[in-house]
Amino acid sequence: MIAFALRTALSGLIVAAVALIARRSPAAGALVASLPLVSLLGMIWLWRDTGDAVRLATHAEATFWYVLPSLPMFLIVPALLRHGIGFWWALVAGCGVTILLYLAIIPVAARFGVTL
């Protein structure tokens, strides 16, 4: 339980740091947010907990495939905001497109022998 609390606190600190940095510099906040810190921490913790190279390789590969459909959201949200759409609606639209793309990536990944 202590390990879970530490992992939760560290992940929360990363999110809080991004928000604080972005207040001063949106570009710097975006840079920190774009770093795969959560993915790296997840891999470290998975390795520490299991020591299973095959499981970690499968996890890392699946992460790659799931990152791809999430990228358009970072273009959709700002485009909608710049066209006067409210933040929450822009966010919902971006998330909705991401969900649809997640569903679409499953058969695409399968063509490359990856099961998601």
Would you kindly state where each structural domain of the chain is located, as residue ranges?
53-116
DSSP helix, strand, coil percent of the chain (3-state; round to 5):
85, 0, 15
pTM of the model: 0.77
Tokens 């001063």, residue located = 24
Q: Which of 1-10, 30-39, 92-101, 106-115 has the highest mean pLDDT?
A: 92-101
Mean pLDDT of the chain: 93
What are the backbone angles phi and psi of residue 61, rounded to the nearest 5°? -65, -40
Distance CA 90, CA 69 (A): 17
CB atoms within 10 A of CB 90: 20
**Interaxial angle between packed helices 37-50 and 2-24, expressed in degrees from 0 to 180 and rounded to the nearest 10:** 170
